[in-house]
């Protein structure tokens, strides 16, 4: 799963998953800029890699796709949420870039 290893980090990772889920739920219905920035700052402070964010996103989308199929709905709508992933990754990459520039 995600590279954070010990039990304390499990709590951190679950918190990040929940925050990402909240961002996804609100992404097309409101301003998520602040939530994305907070998520990225926390991910950065815990040295989360972009690949870890992709895993969190993929796990969430798989879960939502299963739920939509159970409800008899088409999960293709979830493809739009790639924009959420791109937005978060762009912010995280920018944060890492600034970090390198500051060193």
Q: What is the pLDDT of residues 60-96, one digit of tens each?
A: 999 999 999 999 999 999 999 999 999 999 999 999 9
What pLDDT is attached to residue 28? 87
Cα–Cα distance, 26 to 11 (Å, whole number): 23
pTM of the model: 0.85
Cα–Cα distance, 100 to 31 (Å, whole number): 29
Task: Give residue 66's domain range.
Answer: 7-102
Q: Domain containing 65 — which CATH number?
A: 1.10.1240.30
Q: Is the pLDDT of residue 2 over 50?
A: no
Is residue 2 assigned to a domain?
Answer: no
- Number of neighbouring beta carbons within 10 Å of residue 20: 22
Is residue 17 assigned to a domain?
Answer: yes
Asked if 63 and 21 count as a contact pair (C-beta separation under 8 A), the reply is no
How many structural domains does the chain have?
Answer: 1
What pLDDT is attached to residue 30? 87
Asked if 16 and 43 count as a contact pair (C-beta separation under 8 A), the reply is yes
What pLDDT is attached to residue 5? 54
Q: What is the pLDDT of residues 5-33, one digit of tens each?
A: 566 788 889 999 999 999 999 998 889 99
């Amino acid at each position: 799963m995600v590279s954070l290893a010990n039990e304390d980090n499990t709590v951190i990772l679950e918190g990040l998953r929940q925050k990402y889920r909240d961002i996804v739920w609100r992404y097309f219905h409101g301003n998520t800029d602040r939530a994305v920035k907070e998520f990225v700052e926390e991910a950065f402070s815990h040295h989360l890699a972009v690949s870890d964010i992709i895993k969190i996103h993929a796990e969430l989308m798989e879960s939502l796709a299963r739920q939509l199929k159970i409800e008899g709905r088409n999960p293709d709508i979830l493809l739009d949420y790639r924009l959420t992933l791109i937005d978060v990754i762009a912010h995280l990459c920018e944060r890492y870039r600034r970090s390198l520039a500051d060193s």
